[in-house]
Amino acid sequence: MSAPRSPSEAKPPRMEALARLPLFFALEGKRALVTGGGTGAAWKAELLSATGAAVDVYAEQPSEEMLALAAEPPKGEIAIHLRAWQPEDFKDAAIAIGGCETEEEAARFAATARAAHVPVNVIDKPAFCDFAFGAIVNRSPLVIGISTDGAAPVFGQAIRAKLEALIPFGFSRWAEAARRWRKNVQSSGLSFSGRRRFWQVFTAHAVTHPNEEPAAGDFDKFLSETRGEGEALEQGSVTLVGAGPGDPELLTLRAVRALQSADVILIDDLVAPAILDFARREAKKMLVGKTASGPSCKQEEINSLMISLARAGKRVVRLKGGDPMIFGRAGEEIAACRAEGIPVEVVPGVTAAQGAASRLAISLTHRRAARRLQYVTGHAEDGHLPADFDWPSLADPTATTVVYMPIRTIAEFAQKAIEHGLDPTTPAIAVARATRPDEAVIEASIADLPARIAAASPGGPLVVMIGRALDEYRAARADVSKSLRKSKSTG
């Protein structure tokens, strides 16, 4: 039996290093300074005007492009001064953009701006910049900025093009509607939970009807729907969410939505840390680890914690590795919630067997090799091999068997399966940390696999797949090895 352990709050992961801090300047009605009259300066002046800034351009010879822009600015007025810039021009400026021909002029411009406490950017001269412009996806007031810190502007533009294709232009109207309606929602009398639910209803409609024109009737409908949920909004709930075997890209959209609306997330040790990047930042995260060989929280403690949090009105997500319904004790947690009248739902996830098979490109039910697929647990409640296995079924040569959590019992499992008729040469593959970047694969016959696992000592969650369907993986590896040997001999 594993050592006891109490639920504990998880420390939030530290922010990874940032090349740039993404910020959005509010420039409506403020003064912006631009020097130079070329194409780069004109583009920056256009951006600044689009924000509502009053733009002063200092250029002895402004280009036709700059003159045309000043005649028809996007939003804020653009005034052109036919002279070189002077230090006193920085007074009251909120931002300064320099189109400087030489390094000397760039250094003087940047130093003057900083002396006046004005953030400065010198076009195409990053050494003199306090901030940088990135590629922009404009669905204002929804605005997305993309930066590669100058390392690969073309890459940034390619990402922008992808986002432009993904994000409907109609989102601009819905984002503007959200801005108009925010004060009305705040004064609607809805509770905090109710207001959050209103915006969830709003978002669901906007995402599915992006090209509709938001109308006052929509606001009334969303408000009515929210109020119609009544006391249910204040009642807590529990959602069992399958985190999959590790790769965050295998999360379902429904799992992401659950993570982003949670108040509290109860996390298993086997959940890959990268999964929490999708969680609501304000949600409280608690470790309620259950592992076969390490300290584990008692199931009764986890059930009690879930119920107490839900009773306090919290939206609780019970985040489990793989699929909650496959050896995840979901049945016990669902029963505990139902017994206390707590609403509970389940969001399925990719189970470890599916994740491992997909990465190895193995069909677990290959029609020429398998007639059945069976999942079994590698240990019972006491930590030992279950005493009630149907060994003839496990020895069936037409079955593919996946053993979950077998790290301590695989040797005994293999021995008994062979004793009950399983061919010792049957292919077997152990996969540790399936679908994660550090995934480890150990391939052997079932007779030899336990020794190979012991020698490798793989950490993390482990599954073992057994059956003739795995022959295709062995054959594929043999073909790759043969090709490599052939290329070396002819190279």
Chunked in runs of 10, what are the mean pLDDT values of the chain (491 residues)?
68 79 94 95 96 97 95 97 97 97 96 97 93 92 90 89 92 95 94 88 91 94 90 82 94 91 90 89 84 70 93 92 92 95 95 94 90 93 89 94 94 96 96 94 95 92 94 72 56 55
Per DSSP, the three-state class of 361 is coil
61 Ramachandran zone, left/alpha/beta (phi>0; psi -120 to 50)? beta
Distance of alpha carbon 123 from alpha carbon 110, whole angstroms: 11
Are 342 and 311 in contact by the 8 Å Cβ rule? The answer is yes
Nearest to 442 by CA among 470, 413, 484: 470
- Residue 197, φ and ψ in degrees, nearest 5: -65, -35
The whole-number pLDDT of residue 460 equals 86
C-alpha Rg value of the chain to the nearest Å: 31
CA distance 274 to 276: 5
**Alpha-carbon distance 226 to 17, whole Å?**
40
The pLDDT of residue 480 is: 53
Catalytic residue IDs: 268, 290
- Global confidence as pTM: 0.72
- H/E element holding 192? helix 192-208
DSSP-assigned states of every residue in 92-116: TEEEEEE--SSHHHHHHHHHHHHHT
pLDDT for residue 479: 58
pLDDT at residue number 419: 95
What pLDDT was estimated at residue 12?
Answer: 67
A 10 A CB-CB count for 171 gives: 18
- pLDDT at residue 192, as a whole number: 84
Model pLDDT, residue 475: 74
